[in-house]
Amino acid sequence: MEFRIAQSDRTSAIRFLALGGSNTAATLVLFALLERVMAPWIAYSVVFALGLTYTTLLIGRFVFRSTNSSRRSALFIGWYLAVYAVGVSAVQALQALGVRSHNLLAVFTVLLTAPLNFFGGRRIFAERLPTSTKEIAP
C-alpha cells in the first residue's frame, strides 16, 4: 500500500508551519516583555489571546486558501481551545509519569498539538463542494 500526501496538503502544511512559527516567535517575545511588567499568568493570557486572534484571522485565507466566515472562525477557536486542553492534559500526564525535562515536555506537546490544529483547521476551512448537480451553476 502506498501512502501519498496531496501537493495541496504539503503546501498547506508549509504555510501552517510558517504561520505557527511566526505566531510562536511573536508571542514569545511579547510574553518575555509583558511578564516584566505584570504577573506571568496575565502576560501568558494576553499573548495567548493575541496569538489565537492572529491565527484565526489568517489560517483560513493564508494556510487553506479559504474564506474566514464568523462560523468557521468560531469553530476554529473552539477546536483550538480543545486542542489546548489536550496539550495541558498531556503535560500533566507526562509529569505524573515522572518526566521533568521542560524541553521534552515542550517538544512532545508541540508534536501532539500541532498536527491536531492542522487537521482540525483543514477540516473547518475546507471548501465544501456542491453535493448535487442542482447546486452547480451553469
Structural domains in the chain (count): 1
pLDDT at 4: 46
Residue 96 lies in a domain: yes
First to last CA, the chain: 39
- Confidence at residue 137, expressed as pLDDT on a 0 to 100 scale: 47
Q: Per residue in 48-106, pLDDT tens?
A: 999 999 999 998 898 988 888 999 999 999 999 999 999 889 989 999 999 888 888 88
In a domain, 133, yes or no: no
Yes or no: say if 7 and 65 are a contact pair by the CB < 8 Å rule: no
- What predicted TM-score, i.e. pTM, was given to this entire model? 0.75
User: In this predicted structure, what is the pLDDT of residue 102?
Assistant: 83
- pLDDT top residue among 10 and 54: 54
Evaluate whether residue 2 is within a structural domain.
no
* HEC assignment per residue over 64-133: CCCCCCHHHHHHHHHHHHHHHHHHHHHHHHHHHCCCCCHHHHHHHHHHHHHHHHHHHHHHHHCCCCCCCH
Report yes or no on 135 lying in a domain. no
Q: Is the Cβ–Cβ distance between 134 and 85 less than 8 Å?
A: no
